[in-house]
């Protein structure tokens, strides 16, 4: 899971709680990200997501 640490609508603590309730979930908090996706965090978000997607992709 990815959650903005500066989210004013859904506090980071709620993301932590959700991650605890999902077996095997991993939570990544992104500093400076709120409820939206500002351009300054896109690279950090992609650095988290690309390895996750690559690991889940079917091998041929």
How does pLDDT run across 21-59, given as a tens digit for each residue?
A: 999 999 999 988 899 888 888 888 889 889 988 988 787
Q: Which residues are CB-contacts of 5 (< 8 A; sequence separation ≥ 6)?
A: 12, 29, 30, 31, 32, 33
Strand boundaries in 1-60, DSSP class E: 2-4, 28-30
Spatial separation of the C-alpha atoms in residues 10 and 7, rounded to whole Å:
6
Sketch the domain layout of the chain as residue ranges: 2-56
Tokens 């991650």, located at residue: 19
Count of CB atoms situated within 10 Å of the CB of 33:
21
pTM of the model: 0.72
Partners of 29 in beta bridges:
3
Can you give the pLDDT at residue 5? 94
């Amino acid at each position: 899971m990815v959650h903005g640490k500066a989210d004013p609508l859904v506090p980071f603590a709620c993301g932590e709680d959700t991650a605890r309730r999902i077996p095997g979930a991993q939570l990544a908090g992104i500093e400076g990200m709120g409820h939206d996706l500002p351009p300054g965090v896109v690279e950090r978000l992609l650095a988290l997501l690309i390895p996750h997607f690559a690991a889940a992709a079917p091998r041929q």
